[in-house]
A and B are shown apart, each in its own frame.
Chain A
Amino acid sequence: MTTPLPPNDHSSSEISDTEIPQSAVPSARQLFEVLVREQSGSLLAFIRAVCHDRSIEDDLMQEAFVIAWRRLGDYDRSRPFGPWLRGIAARCAMKRRRTRGAVFVDEATLESLTQHANLFESSRNHEQGERIDAVRECVERLAEEHRTVVRLAYQDCHALRSIADCLALSEENVKKRLQRARAAVAKCMQSKGLLA
């Protein structure tokens, strides 16, 4: 008897239950570990897009994964794990918004972000883990003046003012370059099937 692998599995082949030695059967904990490793990057991207606050994103991630761990039995394995996990994270974010007054996105934006995240993860052209590398490639392809501001802003985490001083530009000019750079990266991602 053969069984199809789950959507998030690394292998693309089918495996036979009869070929699985008992010693090789992983615990739920091991399987959860695989899912955490697979999903932590894309979940972080989603949470960062939602809350845009690095001081609370780790808390939200932890909350989402612990709930997923607790409710793993409820997960419908015929469906992808990522959207289910992001659904949990979205509810955690909204709950935090209501109870602690945190300023996140509104529900319409949240829904839209969820769709973008789902498309990003379901891209058939890239294996798990290659998508972030594909985004890096898009950044590499930027014109130098755009790549410079992107790296100073995102990688080196400088404030707009600091970048403006460093490059002898106005803050408005830096903002514009960032905006154009994001648009160019978005276009590149779109061409790779990573963005609608």
Chain B
Amino acid sequence: MTSESTPNADREPAPLPPVVDLDARDRFVDAVISIALTTTEVSRRARIDSLLHAATEATKHGDVGRRSFLFARWRWAGIAAAAALIVALVLWPSASGSSDLLASAARIETQASDRSFDFRIDPPPFAREAPPLFGRLDVRDSEHMLLLLDYPDGTRIVKGRDGARSWMRDRNGMFDEGGAVTWPGWVAQEDGGLVVDSIATLIASIDDHYEIEVPQATTLPDGEPATKIAARLRVSADVDGNRTARRGVEPIEILLWLSPSSRRVLRAEVKWDPPMPRFHDMPPGEPPARRGDPPPHDGPQSGGPPFQPPHPGSRSAGGPELSSQPPGRLTISLKSVNPFRDRHFSPENFSLSK
């Protein structure tokens, strides 16, 4: 069954590569490549609906006067045709807002194995003065991962899963293991599943609530060519005109840079817009954030824990800094896809110094 697709087919017709000097064979190949790479399931369905609509209109205007004849002629094909219709309805994927470009990137990421990302966490808008945090995320699968988060004062939190256990070394160098080790919401979900173990999850979150822009050819800072895709959350409102609760929970913007050759995600930027914590959720006398503090990621919405800005210079066990609330922006860059050593994810493998 064909799963035709493309990012641009649902929008204004895009120019095709010039074919003036092509012979018929090349011209046909050119068209088939174009169809193979530029028709989305959504546009294919839309085209079929449009064609059937046109046939309906023709029928309404009395253009088809031989239906009974046709009915008799085609009767013998009944079962097979009905079966074809059912198969078509059951097997053809439902229309989704994501393009084939994203779908192919998701497929690649699902198959990915060892990967190492650099990341940067920027605070939410209401804590703009807090400095960004930088780190690294090494991932093999949901049972093997390693997160290193560096703080402006030179300390570091290291968290890992080595297949047998979850472990952590906090900013004071204390080692912990087991259930006390929590992961930030943008790394692991409550059920232990990873959010960024596969960019596929991120891509899968780009649904019909997002407006996907036409991909752009661009280059990354290191000069590598990339195709940039931007998906922006549509602003939704309730009957009273208030923005709905999606704000703060889902990213308002997802930017992806894909390799034009491999379709791998080379870089991703995810932006949230969490609302300012309510004053009565804060401990008495504490401002939302101060220069030098890690970005506060807790918030009162969605049943999350109350906002607890960290004390200046505090070296907590890594709870508030790595809580489940989203930051303002998360930027992830693929650094390598080289296989890790066997003991790469073990706590013994890591020192606390940068």
- How many residues in A have their beta carbons less than 8 Å from beta carbons of B? 87
**Distance (Å) between the CB of A169 and the closest chain B CB?**
10
Q: A15-B79, A26-B82, A40-B44 are in contact. Are A49 and B27 (CB under 8 A)?
A: yes
Task: Verify B77–A31 contact, CB threshold 8 A.
Answer: yes
Task: Verify A182–B33 contact, CB threshold 8 A.
Answer: yes
Chain B residues with CB under 8 A of A28: 67, 70-71, 74
**Bound Cα distance A112, B17 (Å):** 21
- B350 contacts chain A at the CB level, 8 A cutoff: no
**Distance (Å) between the CB of A63 and the closest chain B CB?**
9
How many pairs of A and B residues are in contact by the CB < 8 Å rule?
246
- B64 contacts chain A at the CB level, 8 A cutoff: yes
Task: Verify B75–A41 contact, CB threshold 8 A.
Answer: no
Q: A41-B35, A156-B260 are in contact. Are A32 and B217 (CB under 8 A)?
A: no
Chain B residues with CB under 8 A of A36: 48, 51-52, 55
Task: Verify B85–A133 contact, CB threshold 8 A.
Answer: no
- A196 contacts chain B at the CB level, 8 A cutoff: yes
**Distance (Å) between the CB of B90 and the closest chain A CB?**
13
**Distance (Å) between the CB of A105 and the closest chain B CB?**
7
Closest to B58 in A: A66
Closest to A19 in B: B79
Interface string of B55-82 (1 = CB under 8 A from A): 1001100011011011101111111111
Contact surface of B with A, Cβ cutoff 8 Å: 1-4, 6-8, 13-19, 23-39, 44, 47-48, 50-52, 54-55, 58-59, 63-64, 66-67, 69-71, 73-85, 87-88, 101, 214-219, 225, 227, 260-262
Task: Verify B15–A147 contact, CB threshold 8 A.
Answer: no
Chain A residues with CB under 8 A of B76: 3, 15, 17, 20
Closest to B263 in A: A151
Closest to B26 in A: A182
- A158 contacts chain B at the CB level, 8 A cutoff: yes
**Distance (Å) between the CB of A187 and the closest chain B CB?**
10
**Distance (Å) between the CB of A57 and the closest chain B CB?**
8
Query: Would you list which residues of chain A between 10 and 34 have a CB under 8 Å from chain B?
Result: 10-11, 15, 17, 19-20, 24-34
**Distance (Å) between the CB of A81 and the closest chain B CB?**
12
Interface residue from B2, B101, B260 paired with A133 (Cβ < 8 Å) = B2
Closest to B6 in A: A155
Interface residue from B32, B50, B81, B82 paired with A135 (Cβ < 8 Å) = B32
- A160 contacts chain B at the CB level, 8 A cutoff: yes
**Bound Cα distance A128, B92 (Å):** 14
Chain B residues with CB under 8 A of A54: 13-16
Task: Verify A45–B32 contact, CB threshold 8 A.
Answer: yes
Q: A28-B71, A48-B34, A185-B33 are in contact. Are A132 and B4 (CB under 8 A)?
A: yes
Q: A36-B52, A49-B27 are in contact. Are A26 and B16 (CB under 8 A)?
A: no
Query: Would you list which residues of chain A between 137 and 162 have a CB under 8 Å from chain B?
Result: 139, 144-145, 147-148, 150-160, 162
